[in-house]
Structure 1
């Protein structure tokens, strides 16, 4: 779908040829046109893309479709429509229509704009690491302060014990 709910239909890459076997089979297909239609050739990462392979071959001829994505055959799709779910990278799409007139191919490049999701994730990870580092520093300072106070209390107790011992007078003999 286009921006703001508009549907923009783009037709790209035409292939014109005369059918080499149509004249011998008495089928009227003198000029073959194959094209790819899509809503956009530039999409955002994660978008769904639909590409339709159109042709002007006569009805009544058995047509078969094959799709290639970056030269890899997509065997599970054998009709005129290719649906790419959650596209993640720029891809070269090829549609081939095969019948008694021959094989007719057309290519289309779909460009993917990188999303900012990865940048946002990295910023969040950095912020979380910063918060954890600050908490660790605060805990270290607090523990060190508690340790110093504990040592001061222990010294004070020791001094009190020594003062008690020095103030105690022993009375010997009656």
Structure 2
């Protein structure tokens, strides 16, 4: 390990802060301007997910999510309003805004292809179901294959798990296999 000169760190710290502030200010403006969030609610998002302050932009992800939320939302609310409500209620959801357009669209497409309706998807966002969107479609497909192999489960069982036990999709395939195998032994 290379020793770090404390004097150099002290000189670089203000520069790092100066560089980060304009980027974070632009991101906060996107949350407040485009979504209508309060400054306090936007700040809570960055408190919960500090890495979000390093994102180049939230615009692409806001566009994708707002369209989905508008299509699957209730009471004719605009997608931006629903996204604001989700971010205000669950500030760590800002992690979704760090995604690029293609990855987000791919993951949403995969979940909808599995049979999750837009309405179910929107409802799950209000109950921390947004974490599904942070998982690559390939990972979800591997987990579904493991479920089929270990338990003989079909797509309907996989969908039920995604709706009711979203955390199941967050682990590794090996851990998922072990848990599924343990369930199979108990059955």
Q: Same fold (TM over 0.5)?
A: no
Structure in which a larger fraction of residues adopt strand: 1
Q: What TM-score, normalized by structure 1, do the two folds share?
A: 0.22
Structure in which a larger fraction of residues adopt helix: 2
Q: What TM-score, normalized by structure 2, do the two folds share?
A: 0.21
Q: Which is greater in Rg?
A: 1
